[in-house]
Amino acid sequence: MKAQITTRALIQRINRALAKDGAVLKKARGMQMFASVGEYFIVNITGNYISQQRVDPEKLGRELGIFKPYEKVG
């Protein structure tokens, strides 16, 4: 049985990991922003620019090693 975590909890874990590199995962607000960068995107805080668009939080969490195989978003 897989342990469920919320999307919000996953995003918080990701942001703690990305903070070391001066970045943060954001969620698009508004249809224009959504169409431009996707639902989730990464912002480089030090340079104030979007460093990655159309990010899948679950996939990113697994790549960073903070989303374990026995967990699922629910």
Q: Specify the pLDDT at position 26.
A: 98
- Where exactly are the structural domains of the chain? 3-68
State the Cα–Cα distance between residues 62 and 70, nearest whole angstrom. 11
pLDDT tens column, 17-73: 999 999 999 999 999 999 999 999 999 999 999 999 999 999 999 999 998 889 999
CA gap 21, 19 in Å, rounded: 5
Tell me which of 15 and 74 has the higher pLDDT.
Answer: 15
